[in-house]
Structure formats: C-alpha cells, structure tokens
Chain A
Amino acid sequence: MTTADEIVLHVKDLYVSFYTYEGVVKALDGVIMFLRRGDTMGLVGETGCGKSVTAKAILGLVEAPGRIEGGKVIFFDKDAETQEITELDLAQLTSEEMLEIRGNKISIVFQDPATYPNPVFRIGDQIAEVIELHQDLSLDVLYMKIAKLELALSETNSDVNRAEIESKIAYYRQQMEDPPEPDKKSIKEAAKLKAIEMLRMVRMPAPEQVANQYPHELSGGMRQRALIAMSLACNPSILICDEATTALDVTVQAQVLKLLNQLKTEIGTSIIVITHDMGVVAETCEWVNVMYAGTSVESCATERLFTKPLHPYTAGLLKAVPKLHEDRERLPQIRGSVPNLISPPTGCRFHPRCDYATEICIETKPILEELEPRHWAACHHPLWTSGGKKNE
C-alpha cells in the first residue's frame, strides 16, 4: 500500500456491534479504508450500511449499546512545525486522550443544520468555544491588544497619552517572543475575533453580525456554513462531512460543496465525504470507498469507479443513477433489500442480492484485495475479470 507519509487515516478491520433487545446488530463487520493526505474521499452506500457508524467510530463517539469490538483506527498525526509524524491508534486511546483529537485534529460536520447547532448559544460563541478549547491563543491575544492600542493611538490627540500607548505597544511587542499566559477574559475576546475570522473564511456574509446571532435566526445554508466554520476552526487534519449537504437545497448544496473544495486547498485538510449521492461523489471526491451492510466492498479512484467498477454492488448502484443521455421509463434497481444486520447473510453479505453469486459467496467472506492496480474490491467474482459471469 501507500506509505505512511502519504496516508493520514487508516481504518483496519473495524468491528462495531450494537447490543439491542432484539439481538446483536453487527453494524460494522471488518471495515477497511484509508485516506490520503490532502485527498477528498467519498464514503458511499445505502442508508444503514454503516457510514455514519464508521465516522462515529473514528471519533470515538460510538455510544452504548454500541461497542467497538475490534480493529484499528490509525491516525498519522503530522506536527505542523516539525513535520514529524506520530502514529496513534484512535480505537485504543482513553477518552481523555480522544478529547484532544476530537474537534482539533479530526472534526465532523453533521447532516441536519436545523438540529445540530445548540439553539441557546450564539453562533460566534459556539465557534469560539472550540478555538478556546484547543488552541493556544496567547499570541492572538497579544495581536488583539496591539491592534486595539493602535486604534486608540490613531484616535488620541494628547501627546502624553500617545507616549503611554506607544510604550505599551512596545511592551507587548517584546512579549511576542515568549507570550505570557493571558487572562480568561482576553482569551474569550480573542477567540471570538477568531470565530468571526472563521465565519469570514466560509464566505459568510456579515460575519460580525452573524456571530452575535442565534442559530434559529439563520437560514439552513448559513447554519451549515457556520457548522463548517466550527469544524475547521482548529485547522483539523481530517474533516468528516456526514451527509453534510443532504438536508440542503440543491443550489445551496452546490455552494457548500464548492466551498469545501476551496477550503481544502486553503487549509490542506483531508476530507471524508459521507453520502449516498453519487453526484456529490463525482463532483468532490478523488477517491471512493463503497460500503455495503457494514463491510467495505470497493475502494478506488473516483474516475475508475464510474468507468470500471469491479464489485457487482457498485455496478448496481451506478446503474441506479439517472443519466441525462438515457431515456428510460424506469431506473434499474438492485433486487431485494438491505439485509437485517442482526442475522446477516453468511459469506459475502451481498450474495442474496447478487446476480453473480455462487457457492463460494455463500460460504466464505471475500477479502478486500488489490484486484487491479490501485483498485481494491472484496468480491469472489469481480466484474471485468474472468470470474464475472452472470448466473440467471
């Protein structure tokens, strides 16, 4: 595979189960995926295939009755200054250690902008909260103080005051080398200024005003931008967008996608886009990971996936996407329905719905293998190869 330098996140054989009244729901059954630094990766699949659970497992947010049963979530943390890379297994970290990662190194944007922002706090305060929590603001505080003094300097007329202010500015400049621990109030102020900065970065109109508004006063698109600003506030290495555009209008959706692409180049964040919309994948992602019923079935570059899918499920998924140049009465669909994860099918989980299934599919579970160069799939009978034969 690719080297650690290139990869930022590697999920290895992740197992997550939910212990419910009706039985154990094996929500993730050996999920494998990797994310390259600076890449946008799409995580695609039907509703209930475990995309969101994967995201929550990465962040350590799987809640009872769910439990991570096994596997590794390796995060290659690159220090911004020293460029050193440390390898962390997120599944093994204690909850205190995870607090350092969450919102700071890895952050998430959720689906529904209507319910995710806390309704009783101002937008600005909610963004400032993350900044305050994870960032060392001592330098920012000094900059803020200097900026304030300079403003006062331009307004004052008396020479005595002028001299006093200038000496103060000089004093603060001196501290820049080794900034002292600032007091709580100025940290709050600096964080708020930074939050406004973040709002500006996500192209929010009138960010100063929006920062003082409550979530219910904003439109859905604006709220989603605010949530993105919140996630990006600490320049995370990985941004997970969990159906971040699904609840938005198509036009707003396009704006948000465009914004994400722009921000990626600006900050250098790697993005995981969780979606069931192939259009979103085609538009934003370089790499795609297809999931089915809690398993990874295919992983390859976007272009390759759309032109030459290896897994029958992916092929079926692509056929179900309406195309402009085709004129059809009815879109083809994959027969059957999503399996019950309490008692999933044996072997390949897709075999009851697969047109190519044989004995081996029922008996053994296929492994995700590099079947073609830089193209991984978990299938006994991949398409485009000799094994692929439709059985009627």
Chain B
Amino acid sequence: MRLRDFIIRRIILAIPVVFGVLTITWFLSYIVGDPLAMYITERTPDAAIPGIIHARGLDQPLVVQYFLYLNSLFHGDWGVSTTTGADQPVLTVLAAKFPATIELSIFAMIFAIALGIPLGIISATKKDKAADHITRIFALSGVSMPIFWFGLMLKYLLFFQFSQWGLPHLPGGDRYNYRAYTWHPTTGFLLVDSLVFDHNPGLFIDAIFHLIMPGFCLGYITLAIITRMMRSSMLEVIKEDYITLAKSKGLTERVVIYKHALRNALIPTVTVIGLAFGGLITGAVLTETIFNWPGLGRWATNSILNSDIAAINGFTLLVAFIFVTANFIVDMVYGVLDPRIRFG
C-alpha cells in the first residue's frame, strides 16, 4: 500500500534527526557541565556518588558512555531535574507540564489560523491598496515584535492599567484563579478537565480568560507567518492559468478566490503552519516566563538558568520529537490537499 510505504519512509528519514538531537544533547551534557550532574543533585549523599558513577557507567570509555546514555533514555530514565524544587525524574516533570504548554500552543494556533488565513487572502486580493498595507504592517509587526516585550506591554495595559482605570481587565498570569476555583487535574488539560471531569463551567470560563492574553501573545508571530505565507502563495496562485479558466467559466470573483485559489494556496501555507507549531513550543519559553504559565517553557528557562542539564536535555528531546511529528503530520495533510503528491 502506498500510504504505508510513505509512512515507513518518513519514519526512516526521521531516525537520523532524532539521533542527531540525542547526540547533541549528550554532547552538551559534556561541554556545558558534568554528565554526572544529570543524575545527582545537592541532596544526593556523597557516599552514594561513586555508586551512581559506576551504575551509570561514567567511568567507562566515552563510546560506551554514549550507548549507555541512549540505553537509559530508551528505558525512560531521563535523569533527575531539580528545577521544580524537589528532585523529580525528568519524564515525570515533562508529563506534568506538557498539557499546560500544549493547551496554550493549540489555543495560540487556533487564533493564528483563524485570523491569519483571512487576513492573507484580503491582503493578496487587495494588493497594493490600503487594506493590503494595513494588513502587512499588522502581520509584519508580529514577526518584528520581541515576544517578551509584547507580553509585558499587553500585561501592563490590559491587566494593570485597565484595573487602575476600573475597567474590566484580563488576568495577568497563571492558568486559572487559584483563590476562586479548585481544579482536580485528571488529564492535565484544564479546559477538558473543568468541563468533562469537574463539571465546573465557571472554571472553564475563567481558564479561557486566562488563555486570551498569553495565547494572543504567543500566536501573534505564527499569525504573522501564516498571513505572509498565505498572501504570497495567494498572489502566486491567482496568476496561474487555472484561475483564468475558472474566471472564463463565469464564476464570481468570490468563488474563484475562495474555492479555486484558496485550495491551492493553502498547500504551502499548511507546511508553514506545521513548522510554526514547533516554533510555538520554543516561543512558549519566553511567553510562559512572562505570564507565569506553569508549563514547559518556564521550566526550561529556569532549568537553563540553574544549569539543570537533565531538564534541558529532556526539553530539547521533547521539542525535537514534536517537530518531527509536526513535520510528519504536515506531509500527511499535504497529501490530502494536493492530489498530485498523494504519497507517490
């Protein structure tokens, strides 16, 4: 079957990438610090250290150490992180923090797609008119704005100044109001838990309000990328011959643009969306720091500042994994959108 071959080929192509990232992280643990730091903390008793060194094979030759490192990774032993305050296995922390980041990223992505694609179309169809200029400045501001600064400014205006002026204001940080609501994490996705498990619509709405500002902040870059890609691919597509044909059929401008051109212009845009999803996780590093979001990004920043090698490696591997998966999904969607490719 073609689809199966395609998937297998994709996986084979992804293997060297994942291995490369693994190798670099291993390398980093050597360059940046002591590989032993991955497995011990200040709370480890001195007497236990020789035992750990022996058990981890850190007294072995480098090549052996490398394979031991890979081996432990595949067995789910990603080292110990100290950044959260207590000594926790990295995988546990990742699992605990992952839903918060994903929730934020998905929210940002929805926002970016819902606004970016229409803006791109408007910009392309009204090329060189006022609407195009305004849209482009709006979109390009997204890629020209330091995300942390934008977050701070949003927070200052929408949270602090609005509350000063006595206006309704958005919350300045956190996932939900700790004082007003209680949350019993089940899946870790607050929006899902509050509705499905806690049956707490108040918490759900509160969580949505908490998502707006960080989501907008994080999604703005992606919005900009999508708008620009949409615009340029649309501009290219409306010059194509099949658009002339569609016009010669007597279709209205609307149908020509939104049916014939859009479907073709979406193909390159989807690639960009997929790649941008990986970028969102990286962008979360800065956004979460500003909005006090208890997700992976803030944890990664703290662990870098604490030189918490195990945590950095864990984060990196996860991002690489998400990137590879996103690429894979993009390729699948590509096949759906573009019949010429169809896993051939």
Contact = CB atoms under 8 A, between A and B. Distances in A.
Given A216-B339, A216-B340, A117 B249 contact: no
B251 interface: yes
Given A119-B338, A120-B339, A214-B339, A99 B245 contact: no
Contacts of B250: 98-104, 130, 133-134
B245 A116 contact: yes
A119 B339 contact: yes
A61 interface: yes
B249 A119 contact: no
Interface in B322-342: 337-340
A30 to B, nearest CB: 25
Contacts of A98: 250
Contacts of A129: 249, 251
A227 B241 CA distance: 13
A110 B340 contact: no
B255 to A, nearest CB: 8
A116 B241 contact: yes
Interface in A104-123: 104, 107-108, 110, 112, 115-121
A103 B248 contact: yes
Contacts of A32: none
B144 interface: no
B244 interface: yes
Interface string B300-344: 000000000000000000000000000000000000011110000
A334 B179 CA distance: 91
A119 B260 CA distance: 10
A300 interface: no
B199 interface: no
B79 to A, nearest CB: 48
B325 to A, nearest CB: 25
B235 to A, nearest CB: 14
A357 interface: no
Nearest to A130: B249
Given A119-B264, A216-B339, A216-B340, A230 B249 contact: yes
Interface in A209-262: 214, 216, 227, 230
Contact of B340 (A115, A119, A133): A119
A116 B340 contact: no
Which of B248, B264, B267 has the most chain A CB atoms closer than 10 A to its own CB?
Answer: B248
B240 interface: yes
Nearest to B246: A118
Contact of A118 (B252, B260, B337): B260
Contacts of B126: none
A115 B338 contact: no
Contacts of A101: 250
Nearest to B240: A115
Given A99-B252, A120-B337, A120-B338, A110 B260 contact: no
Contacts of A216: 339-340
A103 B242 contact: no
Contact of B251 (A59, A99, A107): A99
Interface string B230-254: 0000000000111011111111100
A347 to B, nearest CB: 35
B133 interface: no
Interface in B248-306: 248-252, 260, 263-264, 267
A102 B245 contact: no
A101 to B, nearest CB: 7
A59 B248 contact: yes
A101 B250 CA distance: 7
A121 B249 contact: no
A196 to B, nearest CB: 18
Interface in A74-132: 98-104, 107-108, 110, 112, 115-121, 129-130
B263 A121 contact: yes
B335 to A, nearest CB: 12
Contacts of B244: 61, 110, 116
Contacts of B251: 99, 103, 129, 133
Given A102-B247, A120-B267, A130-B250, 17 more contacts: A61-B244, A61-B248, A98-B250, A99-B252, A102-B249, A103-B250, A107-B248, A110-B241, A115-B241, A115-B242, A118-B242, A119-B242, A120-B337, A120-B339, A121-B260, A133-B251, A214-B339
Interface of B: 240-242, 244-252, 260, 263-264, 267, 337-340
22 contacts: A59-B248, A61-B244, A61-B248, A98-B250, A101-B250, A102-B249, A102-B250, A110-B244, A115-B240, A115-B241, A115-B242, A116-B242, A117-B245, A118-B246, A119-B242, A119-B264, A119-B338, A129-B249, A130-B249, A130-B250, A134-B250, A230-B245
